[in-house]
Structure 1
Amino acid sequence: MHVILRVVRNRRWFDGVVLSAALLAAGCAAERAPATDLGADIDQVAATLVEQPLLHSASIGVVYRDREFIRHRGDMETGKPGPPSDATLYEIGSLSKTLAGTLMAHAVLERRVGLDDDVRMYLQGDYPNLQYKGEPIRIRHLLSHTGGLPNMLPERANTVLADFTDPRTPGELNAIYAGYGKADFFRDLHAVQIRQAPGKDYAYSSTGTELVAHVLETVYGSGYESLLRGFFRDSAAMTGLGIRLDDAQAARLAVGYHSDNPVPTTPMPQLPWGASGNVKATVPEMVKYLRFQLAGGPVVTESHRTLVQFDPEFSIGYFWNIVSGDRLKGVYYAHHGGVPRSQCYIYIIPKYDLGVFVITNQSGDQTARAMETAIDSLVERIAARENATGQGVSR
């Protein structure tokens, strides 16, 4: 689940925290001059990131022109030496949505689902409410956050999330979702009111992503987590993805901090399907995902296809935010993920054959901006190196 409010910024990019305009002061001079190798650059960026207030640790995975880099910095818990590692399982929040979008792109290419299908084709029972003046919510509307559905079901979760940094938020979310299953979701879905024509206005919706998971279960006759594991195992050699963890996996789950609370908080509660924000993965697994995205192929190409263009610089594909016109990055694909104790970003930047995944075990109103600045710093270093030498990098 993406539990953070959508950031509008100038072009309505990214769903995320309402951020301040503060920049990272340390390291700005270093951004202007390329270091000896990209590994050193990533070390510097990671070190600068964990120097930010409240940030305890950070992990960065990079794929650049077929080379892989992973760096971990900081300590997971205050006062307890112990950095994250390649074995650390992270909650990747709403990056989970891009995985669901990829699975739906695969289903569309296999002609199991049509983008213009009325979502009610895949629901049992009568849902006359899932339309506006005769125009139904279609599959493409779920994928592009234009269906007019609420962010979360049950609706009271949205009230809690309206003040995300309130110290009571994690506990209140846990109480809301304790025992909240698929039957509860469909009960609440019957009560949803669509107040605008689908397909026009962006309204971020984890509810829509959970519906996507249900559609996939219906057309494939298999549970969503099984579909997730099977597809990415076969297509990207990702063997460590999971939604529900066994005891051994749970022991490797990263601790994390909510806002300015000095005490670690609880994991994100389980949602009915988990497609909107319950996926867990290690950084090496996410590096495989970066490779999969950069390699292209029919499914990735379809998932990156624009479904709705909101303005000349911002579009959305199969849950991917598509940003155009950026002087430094060119056209790129990105998504933010956030839960009460973790935030992350993924960027796919074809201009440099570059993929970046950054995650930290703290979730507050400054966290996303700090990560964005770190990524911008890294891209600037890569651009400077390419402009200066036109050559690759060493590990």
Structure 2
Amino acid sequence: MKKIITLLMLSLFIISCEKNDDNTPNTQVELTNKLKKIYEESDLPGFSVAIVNDKNVNYQNSYGYADIKENIEFTSNTIQNIGSISKTFIAVAIMKAVEQGKLDLDTNINSYLPFEVTNPYHPGLPITVRHLATHTSGILDGPAYGRSYLLQNPSAVNVSEYPEEYQSYIAFLKTNIEIDDSVFLKKVLSQTGEWYTQDSFSENAPGTHRKYSNIAAALAAYVVEEAAGISYEEYIRIHILRPLQMDATGWGFDEVNMENYATLYFTKEFEVPRYFLITKADGGLITSSTDLSKFLIEMIKGYKGKGTLLSEGSYEEMFSYQSNYGISVAKEGIFWGIENTGEIGHSGGDPGILTFVSFDPEKNKGQLFITNISEGFDEDIVQSVIEIWDTITQNNF
């Protein structure tokens, strides 16, 4: 199942970044040397970082390998899945659809869907777009969610070649079949669906309890698709990727330059077999550090009222604490985490993937991190990532 590095860990990173000491890098050379030292002492195959403001990329660098066996270096143009950071693109899509009058945050999602989704424990209570976008819908990642992960070439994958702790997961992936995301969502969430179970829903009423949900995010993207009348993927191309010239970014292997695609790793010795997601909107966007920097710069601009993708009011709504049915959803915007420090961000985690993006509006500064390995069972990897995140946040430029 999907490994999630939650915003709780991102919060720990941010808290740790608040300290300032004599080791704070004062120049780009010092920062580069410090990151290089962390890499050399780590178990990371490769990674890329960037530091931006609302106008420019102030620092960007990459370390290690996109492919160890082929000796291919990890660069700022290396592409890979970014996991749940993909959800921040859903956020922009939702707010754009609201601007266009195609969507309302507080309307029952069944007004847009071709099949009905209701919480079996609370059949009379509507689930709204705002609920989906703040993880308060009551829709859970039940047992069927794992069916959304597909191997690109399952017949070529020999389960016995992998460490024992990964074998059951890979064997499970080999059994999954490719279907359209709308079909998948109906199978899982509609009461007439083949994979429907009450385990996909919380006993809590919609809008009363927060529980992170990937499938609810995928459903939110599908709501956008139905409301807009075009595919979600095309909606993102029109309203985000093309305006920001994110030319290296796409939703599938056929949309991107696979020569730049990173090999993903469980450990430096064991590659993750290439996979993709049926519910690609919640975690399957493929991009590079260079392209993601463009998106991050736009988010900072948007917060400051200077964005180009959305109106000032839409950005304000997206980055504001949300409320549902009288409850306050602490630290949650529209698919963005909002920390007590004022930092806004999101994280991503999947097999062979670990990503972070955040910005501090007061400092007019944002940063991102992408690596081609998951934390798995290795605490050393987690510690290395924390050190990298602290380092790119602690600097004087």
TM range (shorter): 0.7 to 0.9
Instruction: Give 1:385's aligned residue.
Output: none
Secondary structure of the structure 1 residue equivalent to 2:97? helix
Instruction: Give 1:118's aligned residue.
Output: 108
1:270 aligns with 2:277: yes
Q: CA-to-partner distance for each residue in 1:68-110, whole Å, 9 max, x for gaps?
A: 1210111233465332123311210110001111111111222
CA contact under 8 A between 2:84 and 2:348: conserved in structure 1? Answer: yes
Q: Out of 368, 374, 382, which is 1:363 matched to?
A: 374
1:13 aligns with 2:8: yes
Instruction: Give 1:197's aligned residue.
Output: 205
Cα 1:126/1:248, change in 2 over 3 Å: closer
**More displaced 10-residue stretch of structure 1: 262-271 or 215-224:** 262-271
Instruction: Report the count of equivalent residues.
Output: 356
In the TM superposition, residue 200 of structure 1 has moved relative to its aligned partner by 2.0
Q: Hey, what's the Cα distance between the residues in 2 that align with 1:359 and 1:250?
A: 17
Cα 1:275/1:31, change in 2 over 3 Å: farther
Q: Hey, what's the Cα distance between the residues in 2 that align with 1:14 and 1:127?
A: 32
In the TM superposition, residue 227 of structure 1 has moved relative to its aligned partner by 0.9
2:174 partner letter:
A
Instruction: Give 1:62's aligned residue.
Output: 51
Identical pairs, percent: 20
Runs of at least 4 residues off by over 3 Å: 33-36, 64-67, 77-81, 125-131, 155-158, 308-314, 365-370
Q: Hey, what's the Cα distance between the residues in 2 that align with 1:91 and 1:156?
A: 17
1:208 partner letter:
A
Instruction: Give 2:77's aligned residue.
Output: 87
Q: Hey, what's the Cα distance between the residues in 2 that align with 1:33 and 1:49?
A: 13
Instruction: Give 2:245's aligned residue.
Output: 237
Q: Hey, what's the Cα distance between the residues in 1 that align with 2:251 and 2:110?
A: 26
In the TM superposition, residue 251 of structure 1 has moved relative to its aligned partner by 2.9
Q: Hey, what's the Cα distance between the residues in 1 that align with 2:236 and 2:42?
A: 36
Q: Out of 10, 34, 39, which is 1:50 matched to?
A: 39
Q: Out of 336, 355, 360, which is 1:320 matched to?
A: 336
Q: Hey, what's the Cα distance between the residues in 2 that align with 1:135 and 1:102?
A: 26
1:139 aligns with 2:155: no
Cα 1:140/1:248, change in 2 over 3 Å: closer
Q: Out of 384, 388, 395, which is 1:374 matched to?
A: 388
Q: Hey, what's the Cα distance between the residues in 1 that align with 2:8 and 2:26?
A: 33
Q: CA-to-partner distance for each residue in 1:6-32, whole Å, 9 max, x for gaps?
A: 64xxxx72689xx99xx99xxxx9952
Instruction: Give 1:185's aligned residue.
Output: 185
**More displaced 10-residue stretch of structure 1: 67-76 or 42-51:** 42-51
CA contact under 8 A between 1:130 and 1:192: conserved in structure 2? Answer: no
Instruction: Give 2:228's aligned residue.
Output: 220
Q: Out of 283, 291, 297, which is 1:291 matched to?
A: 297
Secondary structure of the structure 2 residue equivalent to 1:246? helix
Q: Hey, what's the Cα distance between the residues in 1 that align with 2:183 and 2:332?
A: 30
Gaps of 5+ in 1: 159-164, 325-329, 383-392
Q: Out of 313, 319, 324, which is 1:304 matched to?
A: 319
Q: CA-to-partner distance for each residue in 1:3-57, whole Å, 9 max, x for gaps?
A: 22464xxxx72689xx99xx99xxxx995244442x2244134324423542111
Q: Hey, what's the Cα distance between the residues in 1 that align with 2:338 and 2:206?
A: 20
Cα 1:208/1:169, change in 2 over 3 Å: farther
1:225 partner letter:
E
Q: Hey, what's the Cα distance between the residues in 1 that align with 2:225 and 2:329?
A: 34
CA contact under 8 A between 1:153 and 1:189: conserved in structure 2? Answer: no
Q: Hey, what's the Cα distance between the residues in 2 that align with 1:184 and 1:229?
A: 23
- Superposition map of 1:141-160 within 5 A: 141-151=131-141, 154-155=144-145
CA RMSD, 1 decimal: 3.3
Secondary structure of the structure 1 residue equivalent to 2:277? coil
Q: CA-to-partner distance for each residue in 1:103-152, whole Å, 9 max, x for gaps?
A: 11111222321111111112223444467252221111100111111226
Gaps of 5+ in 2: 149-163, 191-195
1:66 partner letter:
K
1:344 aligns with 2:344: no
Secondary structure of the structure 1 residue equivalent to 2:276? coil
TM-score, length of structure 2 as denominator length: 0.79
Cα 1:128/1:101, change in 2 over 3 Å: closer
In the TM superposition, residue 230 of structure 1 has moved relative to its aligned partner by 1.3
